[in-house]
Structure 1
């Protein structure tokens, strides 16, 4: 359930909502789009998928314009755990059953190629992005899971990965078993992407920050429109906004948003578990480390997945923090942040031609928590599609893969039932406050103002800020996240600032401002 506004917010350590990657990398100041322009390709979104695509196309001789609503590599990519791996949990046995041995092999080859692509680019550009080659493990502490782990190791090995089943790891606790895959990597994603950005602009392409795209006209050529009215005309358009900001392909019906929490703190270098780890049992726990300037390591722990706008984030942060301190000799909790992902209904990312009628529009989405390898993969795959040299795994990732719709149907129906429950049920639920006067400082709640449901936040000084409680994407009601102090939509994951500004799509329009002392009006939000 959403947070109770009477529960005080989490006592925050330094940098509660700022990630290690953002704090330890440079800033950017690329100019907003200030005129109409024409390029070969316009890329919408400046995360790892968008910048990888732009870099690959620029190096192939295309002129590219990247349009980013905020700052590049500061959205979803800036809050990742930055595991660069083809080991995506217990994935390959499932792929072998649903896609056959060939499908599992194509998935493994494409994801491993992405891992190796980053190494190649780092060497070519001489990027110091803390790239470290380490093994990746999927483990369990339940002995009943040993057969499944052995089967996964065999499936991953048959798919071409350097995989093995082990029962000893570098973790400071015993495990029942684990799938180990060698030849994987971890890195500093922002340092890597800022180097890509500098290189592609040096080759003549452009990046425009603080440039939100609000419209797309497909055709020959295509045209995208920004919120300030400027347009970019291009032969090809790539939508790489994490969750697509355009609904024409109905991809929102094939994905579900998931938010995960992250805590991090320093450990001595000799206590590094020497690898990347994930356990998907229960609330899931993911572990890796990163180098710190003083020679110690930053332990990064991820878990506590939930649908945006549906959980008590403060309590979940406490649970994750308790787990980290109970299992590792962490000296302090230095960071807390949150990441967001979209899970595709058939577990395979959607990368390629946007929809069945598209000719020059492409999309990259549905990375399911593995955006580093999938984002790099997307960049190369889409660039090759535009350059008329599709790789052998094109069909596997094709968003138009209608042959999988029947297999996806049960998951899709379950996802849409949950969306419908929020769309209708949240309107029927009685608000837990009757007046904005009841909202304590630092918290927010959905209340009625003038007969309309409004999202009201009271800041630390006691001043209330009111906006519409209806998400501007498809109209679901938002809920307040007391830790990050944001409004979140449980239907498709849009997130808004307390002033109504868009923090994360698919919404592209801000929440409408409301007058906290406005007159009574009909309850139009209830429709």
Structure 2
């Protein structure tokens, strides 16, 4: 094993996704007037952009509304594997939804991979697309047996894959399951090419435009926070969490997971392939070329949003793993990702409710958004054009499998209630004067619970810790300097602005500068 003097102290101070930092897209205007189109798409990630590309090619008038800037959300923070090997899933799908649904889920994701590969080839998109074999590996006997069951599921479903005894990485394993000819790419290079084609064909893109509600009907109207309205024949909700739930109650049927990524230059040469551990703690590996140098993306450490404790420890755990396996020279980038997971682990894609056929959603990709997001775009195209699609029933949001959906539904909502009550009963001991520079946390001010962050210059930001979605108490994320809600996964900046839904309104902000100055004088700093 090669070692050097690299330490945890060399982790980057701030979280920046390599994908978003390496590519600069044009800026698009805010929607400031009422307009009418054929299809309005809410969300500028892989689902929204691919949907817009497909629909403008059909001659439709399309508009994308993005609350922030294009590709700055979940798509911009992915590990960008394009694969139908979605961890351990196929044996479970056979048990809970049947062999037919499990096979269709596999076929849908293979079709998505082929669709992306075909676009890259025919449009000559320079996006670092390369075919790779994908591996799930087991480091314990318990998970080796689970991989054997997953391999049997592959056989039943006609999936090309095989069990192997070793992988070309210095990790002691019991066995591994390989799926050949999968792929990886630079997602933003791929999607930025589609964005250019969308605008060339007359598609509208509006950034910093937050959709907040829908007036339903034959021609639904999307209302934006700033007052502008957009009327369309179809509304496609492609935001990470549906900005509009209707009667679907999607916040009760999903939970949000956080995971973490570091991009590292290693001492050992990376052998190729994409890898993910079957065991916990989860470890995922792939290569990426950054500034002309090959680096390794090491990701994992997933947990429910707002329930991860010391977030910096998760980044450090990934670093320790990388140091042990590869030896690390530098870590130029680190970032976190957030993913929604449905109660049966299949995304919700389709009509928001059976009675609202012109409002469609796509959510709950369970960390596999490159293929599932593309599946969603293809399903949306066919729904708008009123074409049949064999995958419609697999993903329909109105499904509800009794096992495991009912059990998981009850468990998830018990978790929400538990955190709602727990947060209201907690009485923080930390005070404003206890915060150092670049430190945040829940504090007590005049007997009340507040959230406070002191930046590197000493400036103080104070917010109400009550999430604006259903009233759970947010927790401080010291790895990303955000406030995260443990109930439904809403995230807020340290200033209180919404980063991730389902919350739509920011946390209430307070100015305690005068009080902080008095405390600083009294405490002597």
TM over 0.5: yes
Alignment-derived partner of residue 352 in structure 1: 350
The 3-state SS of whatever aligns with 1:422 is helix
CA distance in structure 2 between the partners assigned to 1:517 and 1:291 by the alignment: 45
Alignment-derived partner of residue 192 in structure 1: 190
In the alignment, structure 1 residue 438 sits paired with structure 2 residue 434: yes
Residues 417-449 of structure 1, C-alpha deviations (whole Å, 9 max, x = no match): 11111111111012131x322222211222344
CA distance in structure 1 between the partners assigned to 2:455 and 2:473 by the alignment: 21
Alignment-derived partner of residue 7 in structure 1: none
CA distance in structure 2 between the partners assigned to 1:119 and 1:398 by the alignment: 26
Aligned 8 A contact 1:277 1:288 in 2:
yes
Alignment-derived partner of residue 471 in structure 1: 467
Higher mean C-alpha displacement, 107-116 vs 209-218:
209-218
Higher mean C-alpha displacement, 159-168 vs 251-260:
159-168
TM-score by length of 2: 0.93
Alignment-derived partner of residue 4 in structure 1: none
The 3-state SS of whatever aligns with 2:36 is strand
In the alignment, structure 1 residue 460 sits paired with structure 2 residue 456: yes
Alignment-derived partner of residue 523 in structure 2: none
Given candidates 488, 491, 499, the residue that maps to 1:492 is: 488
Given candidates 105, 108, 111, the residue that maps to 2:109 is: 111
The 3-state SS of whatever aligns with 2:14 is coil
| Residues 239, 299 of structure 1: alpha-carbon distance in 2 compared, 3 angstrom cutoff | same
Aligned 8 A contact 2:143 2:279 in 1:
no
Higher mean C-alpha displacement, 196-205 vs 448-457:
448-457
In the alignment, structure 1 residue 230 sits paired with structure 2 residue 221: no
CA distance in structure 1 between the partners assigned to 2:126 and 2:415 by the alignment: 44
Alignment-derived partner of residue 120 in structure 2: 122
The 3-state SS of whatever aligns with 2:509 is coil
> What's the offset of the Cα at 1:515?
3.2
Aligned 8 A contact 2:428 2:449 in 1:
no
Aligned 8 A contact 1:468 1:512 in 2:
yes
TM-score by length of 1: 0.92
Alignment-derived partner of residue 416 in structure 2: 419
> What's the offset of the Cα at 1:319?
1.2
In the alignment, structure 1 residue 242 sits paired with structure 2 residue 245: no
> What's the offset of the Cα at 1:358?
1.1
Residues 375-426 of structure 1, C-alpha deviations (whole Å, 9 max, x = no match): 1111111111111113111101000013x14531111111111111111111
The 3-state SS of whatever aligns with 1:151 is helix
Alignment-derived partner of residue 169 in structure 1: 167
Given candidates 364, 367, 379, the residue that maps to 2:365 is: 367
Gaps of at least 5 residues in structure 2 are 1-7, 516-525
Gaps of at least 5 residues in structure 1 are 1-9, 520-527
Q: How many residues align?
A: 506
Aligned 8 A contact 1:153 1:180 in 2:
no
Aligned 8 A contact 2:96 2:403 in 1:
no
> What's the offset of the Cα at 1:518?
9.1
| Residues 455, 203 of structure 1: alpha-carbon distance in 2 compared, 3 angstrom cutoff | same
In the alignment, structure 1 residue 53 sits paired with structure 2 residue 15: no
Residues 96-141 of structure 1, C-alpha deviations (whole Å, 9 max, x = no match): 1122221111011000000111011112221101001001111102
| Residues 484, 145 of structure 1: alpha-carbon distance in 2 compared, 3 angstrom cutoff | closer
CA distance in structure 2 between the partners assigned to 1:386 and 1:454 by the alignment: 46
The 3-state SS of whatever aligns with 1:477 is coil
Alignment-derived partner of residue 41 in structure 2: 43
CA distance in structure 1 between the partners assigned to 2:482 and 2:331 by the alignment: 22
Aligned 8 A contact 2:51 2:377 in 1:
yes
> What's the offset of the Cα at 1:271?
1.9
Aligned 8 A contact 1:32 1:211 in 2:
yes
The 3-state SS of whatever aligns with 1:360 is strand
> What's the offset of the Cα at 1:512?
1.4
| Residues 304, 267 of structure 1: alpha-carbon distance in 2 compared, 3 angstrom cutoff | same
| Residues 518, 475 of structure 1: alpha-carbon distance in 2 compared, 3 angstrom cutoff | farther
> What's the offset of the Cα at 1:315?
1.4
| Residues 517, 188 of structure 1: alpha-carbon distance in 2 compared, 3 angstrom cutoff | closer
Alignment RMSD, CA only?
Answer: 1.8
In the alignment, structure 1 residue 299 sits paired with structure 2 residue 296: yes
Aligned 8 A contact 2:132 2:272 in 1:
yes
Aligned 8 A contact 2:83 2:134 in 1:
yes
CA distance in structure 2 between the partners assigned to 1:287 and 1:199 by the alignment: 32
Alignment-derived partner of residue 509 in structure 1: 505
The 3-state SS of whatever aligns with 1:508 is coil
| Residues 94, 464 of structure 1: alpha-carbon distance in 2 compared, 3 angstrom cutoff | same
Higher mean C-alpha displacement, 24-33 vs 86-95:
24-33
Aligned 8 A contact 1:162 1:183 in 2:
no
Alignment-derived partner of residue 145 in structure 1: 143
> What's the offset of the Cα at 1:485?
1.0
Residues 325-380 of structure 1, C-alpha deviations (whole Å, 9 max, x = no match): 11113322221111110111101111111123212100000101111111111111
